[in-house]
Amino acid sequence: MKMQNKRLIATVLFVAILLLIPLIAMQFTAEVDWTLSDFVIAGFLLLCTGLMIELVMRKVKKIKPRIAVIGILLFLLFLIWAELAVGIFGTPFGGS
């Protein structure tokens, strides 16, 4: 199996494992209260980010631009995640 395909499988597994964290936490505490739509949106965001990072890894050959683009992608993921969670920008999609 090619290394690129292994990274792709690892990305999907990593997203699944990350989504198991709130699912397990919901069994032990009422503080974590995710709905099905929360899991779908989180899975979509994480998977899209992971796939975009995989695309950057395949296409960008120089290390410094690769790190910069991946850093920007992760920063955008965190901004979107924070907006959906607590509404830091006050958009209609905010969690507050």
Retrieve residue 10's tokens: 């690892």
Show me where the domains of the chain are located.
3-86
Cα dihedral sign, 54-67-70-66 = negative
User: CA-CA distance, 2 to 10, in Å (whole number)?
Assistant: 12
CB within 8 Å of 46: residues ≥ 6 apart: 15, 18, 19, 77
96 or 34, higher pLDDT: 34
The string of pLDDT tens digits covering residues 47-95 is: 999 999 999 999 999 999 999 999 999 999 999 999 888 888 877 877 6
**Please, are residues 35 and 75 in contact by the beta-carbon 8 Å criterion?**
no
Retrieve residue 52's tokens: 């975009």
